[in-house]
Structure 1
Amino acid sequence: MSDTTSASPFAAPPAGGLIAVDLDPRRQLTHRAIAGYLAGYSGATLDAYRLDLRQWATWLDGNGVDILSVQRARIELYARWSEEHGLARSTISRRLSTICGFYRYCSQEAVIDRDPAAYVRRPKIDYESHTLGLDRNELGAFLVQAGLCGGRDHALMCLLALNGLRISEALGADIENLDYQRGHRTLFVHRKGHKTATIPLAPRTATSLDLYIGERTSGPIFLNAEGTRRLDRHAAARIVRRLAKAAGIDKRISPHSLRHSFITAALDAGVPLRDVQEAASHADPRTTMRYDRGRGSLDRHATYIVATFVAGASR
């Protein structure tokens, strides 16, 4: 293989920061533009944006188009192609957001003369969540099965189902993040968008965590089966599927399904929307409302509460 073979612009730099030399100036410019854009992100966001751009570049390459010579029509064709291949509107919207951000960066940095994505139309998002969640009985059966397994699986499932953590938040937590505050067992978590929060743990969750951690005093809370490194999200997804099958649940659920179940259970139980939004760490209340299965219920219509409220004052 030639020494001039280019490194992928989507890969992390190798150890020592050395990057393979590419003598093609146009390819060098592309690599620098992609690397510069991705440099502004980290963690799960970086991984998602890198994947979005890799898929976009692969599609362009298959159509013989240079990524820095794109016209608006090509981006909209990609959106239509994605729809035809069954991608959800939310996924297409996110990919377009990444692409638009990339070209905006290239335009601002004078890598290209104008931004081809400036007026790209985005698909309308269906604000009804279609994630497969568990109802109250299914969630109870699932946690019973997790309790029978005990140890790591029970502790992790409690965090996902009873605290509604994102899988990245749960797996990224360390033992040092556990604490006691004003009589509550708490966990400090790093949330999406560089946010942090200290959350209270239900007694069941706190007990399961303490039993699983045992005598350990530092390091990741959740370890792989060998106990050598942090549990990864793929292994966590397999645990969720295994427990669901053991509980007799025939839905194909994921760790996010448990977060979804927490939010819908909280709303069904009558927890105020603002409190559920805060617990779920949603920046926009409309995101939380997507999970409200009962918001169309006539029994919950505001007219009944207002009529009772006003009648009480007119006596």
Structure 2
Amino acid sequence: MVPRQAGPLAAVSSAEQVTEAWLANRRLSEHTRSAYRRDVASWLAWCAGRELEPLRASFLDVNAYAREIESSGLSAASVARKLSGLSSWYTFLAKLGAVPANPVAGADRPPVDRDHSATVGLSPEEVDALLAAADRDGARSRALLTVLADLGLRVSELIGLDVDDVGFERGHRSVRFVGKGGRARRRVLTSSAGVALDGYLGGRAEGPLFMTSTGNRLDRHAVFRLVRRLAREAGIESWERLSPHSLRHAFATAARSYGVPLEDVQDAMGHADPRTTRRYDRDRHNLDRDPAYTIAAARARREGGEAGAYPRTPGGSRTG
């Protein structure tokens, strides 16, 4: 418990205890927990440098902090994310009665373009080249990259998989995992991913799905390094800026371009808000997908156009 006074956060140990209690109260991945710990620690260090008691901070203090870290080179999205975590921390303290109100709630957060993601995406041809490089690299690389490309998983979901998470369900080969927010999820395992996994596992029936040579679970940093190394070997120009998330974006873009309904892509990716899924669709502004072509094709059919003769989009594909 946090007493109803300013004292407890004056000591670092007490602040750490409050932060751990806050994190324990939420369903978060370990990666997100680590990021939130850093965000709170950064704020507390800033307050300490100004002899400011965090429990007495106002929205003006939060504004000053935000402008300072923004001037250090952080993007608006990164600053907004840090303030979001800090706001959750203060909301927790307010519920405990340690602060009268959340000072971040009234702060001036930087504007963020919610319709754009800074993650570098990949074209279908670049995904193919990356998979070919993974195939040359070895069975584990091929299996790992195929699962990422075919299912569009988050890297935290991928590295959290165990061998016994892979099974069969209602005629489908499937994989079960814990998604964002601690939600239990399941996805179909494609035949290509299944074949690649079988080749990699070689009959192994337990333990982490993806392991290091020493038998430990593969971590997110190793996956990041693998994606960039293979992208460089594949001759992808943007290899230095790629991440496992690039394959997640490529999955969403490809699914939508092949006509998969937005709600199905949203469910597959585990997004609570369809607007998030739309941000992942890098091809959503492609004029080939303008619904005007579909409307025109339907009118042409009503007006007695030749059966099967539909207008073509500028890209050459038939509509209808």
- Are residue 289 (structure 1) and residue 266 (structure 2) matched? no
- Out of 220, 225, 228, the position equivalent to 1:238 is 225
In 2, Cα distance between equivalents of 1:128 and 1:25? 38
Partner of 2:250: 261
- Are residue 35 (structure 1) and residue 20 (structure 2) matched? yes
Partner of 1:229: 216
Q: 1:179 Cα deviation (Å)?
A: 0.7
State the SS of the aligned residue for 2:254.
helix
- Out of 111, 117, 134, the position equivalent to 1:129 is 117
Residues 268-310 of structure 1, C-alpha deviations (whole Å, 9 max, x = no match)? 3332222211121111111111122332233322223234335
List runs of 5+ in structure 1 lacking aligned partners. 1-22
**Structure 1 stretch 159-168 or stretch 90-99: which is displaced more?**
90-99
In 2, Cα distance between equivalents of 1:116 and 1:25? 16
Partner of 2:137: 149
Partner of 2:186: 198
Structure 1 residues 299 and 225, CA gap change in structure 2 (3 angstroms): same
In 2, Cα distance between equivalents of 1:114 and 1:184? 51
Partner of 1:47: 34
Partner of 2:89: 102
Alpha carbons 1:268, 1:293 under 8 Å: kept: no
- Are residue 280 (structure 1) and residue 276 (structure 2) matched? no
State the SS of the aligned residue for 2:167.
strand
Aligned residues: 292
In 2, Cα distance between equivalents of 1:247 and 1:113? 56
Residues 76-103 of structure 1, C-alpha deviations (whole Å, 9 max, x = no match)? 1122122222222222222111111111
**Structure 1 stretch 239-248 or stretch 295-304: which is displaced more?**
295-304
Residues 31-50 of structure 1, C-alpha deviations (whole Å, 9 max, x = no match)? 44333322213433322221
In 1, Cα distance between equivalents of 2:266 and 2:244? 19
In 2, Cα distance between equivalents of 1:239 and 1:106? 41
Partner of 1:14: none
- Out of 189, 202, 213, the position equivalent to 2:201 is 213
**Structure 1 stretch 200-209 or stretch 52-61: which is displaced more?**
52-61
Alpha carbons 1:141, 1:247 under 8 Å: kept: yes
TM-score by length of 1: 0.85
Alpha carbons 1:150, 1:208 under 8 Å: kept: no
Which amino acid counterpart does residue 29 of structure 2 have in structure 1?
A: G
Structure 1 residues 299 and 249, CA gap change in structure 2 (3 angstroms): closer
TM-score by length of 2: 0.84
Partner of 1:162: 150
Alpha carbons 2:59, 2:107 under 8 Å: kept: yes
**Structure 1 stretch 299-308 or stretch 73-82: which is displaced more?**
299-308
List runs of 5+ in structure 2 lacking aligned partners. 1-6, 305-320
Residues 3-62 of structure 1, C-alpha deviations (whole Å, 9 max, x = no match)? xxxxxxxxxxxxxxxxxxxx9884265444333322213433322221211122222223
Partner of 1:6: none
In 2, Cα distance between equivalents of 1:79 and 1:156? 38
- Are residue 72 (structure 1) and residue 53 (structure 2) matched? no
Residues 244-291 of structure 1, C-alpha deviations (whole Å, 9 max, x = no match)? 111111312111112122222222333222221112111111111112
Q: 1:195 Cα deviation (Å)?
A: 1.3
In 1, Cα distance between equivalents of 2:143 and 2:9? 53
Q: 1:311 Cα deviation (Å)?
A: 5.4
Structure 1 residues 89 and 172, CA gap change in structure 2 (3 angstroms): same
**Structure 1 stretch 246-255 or stretch 138-147: which is displaced more?**
246-255
Alpha carbons 2:29, 2:181 under 8 Å: kept: no
- Are residue 120 (structure 1) and residue 107 (structure 2) matched? yes
Which amino acid counterpart does residue 262 of structure 2 have in structure 1?
A: L
Which amino acid counterpart does residue 84 of structure 1 have in structure 2?
A: S
Structure 1 residues 240 and 297, CA gap change in structure 2 (3 angstroms): closer
Give % identity.
Answer: 39
